[in-house]
Amino acid sequence: MRYRPDVLLRLLIVLISFSACTFAADPGSRLPPAVIEALTQAGIPESSVGIFVQDVQAARPLVEAGDDRALNPASTIKLLTTFAALDQLGPAYQWSTEIYADGPLQGDVLNGNLILKGAGDPRLTLENFWLMLRNLRSRGVREIRGDLVLDRSYFALENVDPAEFDNEPTRPYNTPPDALLVNFKALRLQFLPDAERNALRIVAEPALPQVQILNNVVLDNERCDDWVSRLKLNALGDRESARLLFSGNYSIQCRDKERNYSVLGHPQYVHALFTQLWRELGGTFAGGLRETNASGNARLLLTHQTQSLAEIARDINKYSNNVMARQLFLSLGAITLGAPASNEKSALSIKQWLAARRLTMPELVLENGSGLSRIERISAKNLGALLLTAQRSAVMPEFIASLPLVAVDGTMKKRLAGEKVAGQAHIKTGSLTGVRAIAGYVLDAKGRTMVVVCLINHAKTPSASIVQDALLNWVYRR
């Protein structure tokens, strides 16, 4: 049988196209066509990317491209911080905050100072702090005739400027860590439009007298797009007091919104909140604020324990909580190498743990373990190796469950909705100016668990999500 030349040519083109579409079945360094196309569309060169994909049951990677490059991982470095903590401390580990008295308790009157001693609790929220004080009241303490004394010595205190990273000092993610961090040192402001009065109400929780809110916002009926940028904030003050002056416009179509702000110094915030809550609980306190280490003569009144590390890791990874990640990072160094905690001590602790786990990462640079850093570095290959190790560890269920589920919750809630990979991948995200990153696990269409890492460091990272989404879709369908 003879074939016409044009038929043979068409057949050859089909075979070449089929080969190009199925090359990824043979592990290599080339990227899938869908990812190459997405990179071209985003205007991001392959030289700015580190990608690693491997079946957890396989001995070799399926895809590795630029995976040896030392890149900024943004918040995906939280995977290292949380896995190191879970593996060393165990999922049930809890932090303790202690309350002491340095004077006698006569009836319900404390004739002395009340001492709060922190140990780096990442989640001493407003509710937990209230429960701790309620517990103290239930033990018979009503009137405190001394001062509130704070023992923050578990962390080595550093003078950190919250505006240093991105000139956003009132944003809670810039709140520096503290051994006695209460409620993330945050105010939750609710913006409540009132159509009848044609005005916007701004309600603070907690409503601290040290923070004054001035409201010059004009209510209008424009489309509710970027409501935050339409508000203008002028924040003035210092560690002792603050004034938040709001102006600009707010649309009634936005309905009720809320946003958190970080103001006051750590000690001043704790003192203000303690004073308010203690009085609400029926207690009496008019003392000042002092800082010192708890003395050996002080008597322990109660110990408050927070949620488990497994729950803390979930909050950190699902919602990419930088403050909690930094608290955990510092705590890990203090627990394993001794207090007071420091970033340098914690970085050393994690590197020693990696060596014990036989994970070699010569390119690794750790600053604070949260990803809120311009200098932290890791390669896609070694982040992938970490994920492979975690998948085979005893804390695998707690670790994987802490990651956002694609199109379902956390920082991946609004991505890939309607795609087949939706609900089939646990993926940690990371983003900074010039950085977009994802890392985690995909359960593909054949039921195989795949480790996926994609780190992109490039000026056009606002378009990088199409590259990462293309990779996740390809891994699921391949």
Residue 223 confidence (pLDDT) above 50:
yes
Confidence of residue 220 (pLDDT cuts 50, 70, 90): very high
pLDDT at 36: 96
The percentage of residues in the chain with a pLDDT greater than 70, rounded to a whole number, is 94
Classify the phi-psi angles of 312: left when phi > 0, otherwise alpha if psi is within -120 to 50, otherwise beta. alpha
Residue 27 confidence (pLDDT) above 50:
no
Positive or negative: CA dihedral 165, 167, 168, 169: positive
pLDDT at 15: 43
Q: Using CA atoms, how far apart are residues 51 and 468, in angstroms rounded to an integer?
A: 10
**pLDDT tens-digit readout, 42-65:** 999 999 999 999 999 999 999 999
**CA 190: distance to chain centroid?**
22
Residue 171: other Cβ atoms inside 10 A: 18
pLDDT at 10: 53
Q: CA-based diameter of the chain, in Å?
A: 110
pLDDT, average across residues 33-38: 96
**CA 200: distance to chain centroid?**
31
Q: Scan for tokens 């010569």, then name that residue.
A: 362
pLDDT, average across residues 294-321: 94
Instruction: For residue 3, give every residue at least 6 positions away whose Cβ sits within 8 Å of its Cβ, in sequence order, or none.
Output: 11
Residue 460 confidence (pLDDT) above 50:
yes
pLDDT at 159: 75
pLDDT at 20: 39
pLDDT at 293: 87
**pLDDT tens-digit readout, 349-375:** 999 999 999 999 999 999 999 999 999
Instruction: For residue 241, give every residue at least 6 positions away whose Cβ sits within 8 Å of its Cβ, in sequence order, or none.
Output: 210, 211, 212, 264
Residue 431: what are its φ and ψ, rounded to 5°? -150, 135
Q: Is the whole-model pTM more than 0.75?
A: yes
Mean per-residue pLDDT of the chain: 93
Q: What CA dihedral angle connects 202, 203, 205 and 208, to 10 degrees?
A: 90
**pLDDT tens-digit readout, 238-256:** 889 999 999 999 999 999 9
Least Cα distance to 293 among 224, 337, 230, 339 occurs for 339
pLDDT, average across residues 107-136: 97
pLDDT at 331: 97
pLDDT at 4: 53
Pairing mode of beta strands 148-151, 114-117: parallel
Q: Are 47 and 68 in contact (CB under 8 A)?
A: no
Q: Using CA atoms, how far apart are residues 343 and 367, in angstroms rounded to an integer?
A: 6
Residue 19 confidence (pLDDT) above 80:
no
Pairing mode of beta strands 199-205, 284-285: unpaired
**pLDDT tens-digit readout, 138-165:** 999 999 999 999 999 999 977 778 888 8
Alpha helices for 239-342 (secondary structure H): 266-280, 309-319, 322-337
Q: Pick the residue with more confidence: 122 or 20?
A: 122
Q: Which domains does the chain have, with CATH numbers?
A: 28-92+310-477 (3.40.710.10), 96-158+266-307 (3.50.80.20), 172-262 (no CATH)
Confidence of residue 6 (pLDDT cuts 50, 70, 90): low
**pLDDT tens-digit readout, 400-415:** 999 999 999 999 999 9
Residue 393 confidence (pLDDT) above 60:
yes
Task: Copy the structure tokens of residue 361.
Answer: 């990462």
Q: Using CA atoms, how far apart are residues 82 and 133, in angstroms rounded to an integer?
A: 29
Residue 3 confidence (pLDDT) above 50:
no
Q: Using CA atoms, how far apart are residues 401 and 305, in angstroms rounded to an integer?
A: 23
Q: Using CA atoms, how far apart are residues 57 and 64, in angstroms rounded to an integer?
A: 16
In terms of C-beta density within 10 A (0-12 exposed, 13-18 middle, 19 or more buried), how is residue 273 classed?
A: buried
Coil, helix or strand at residue 435: strand
Residue 305 confidence (pLDDT) above 80:
yes
Instruction: For residue 61, give every residue at least 6 positions away whose Cβ sits within 8 Å of its Cβ, in sequence order, or none.
Output: 27, 52, 53, 54, 67, 381, 384
User: 250: number of CA atoms within 13 Å, CB side?
Assistant: 28
pLDDT, average across residues 88-102: 97
Residue 341 confidence (pLDDT) above 50:
yes
pLDDT at 296: 79
Q: Is the peptide bond before 45 cis (omega within 30 degrees of 0)?
A: no
The amino acid that residue 95 corresponds to is W
pLDDT at 237: 84
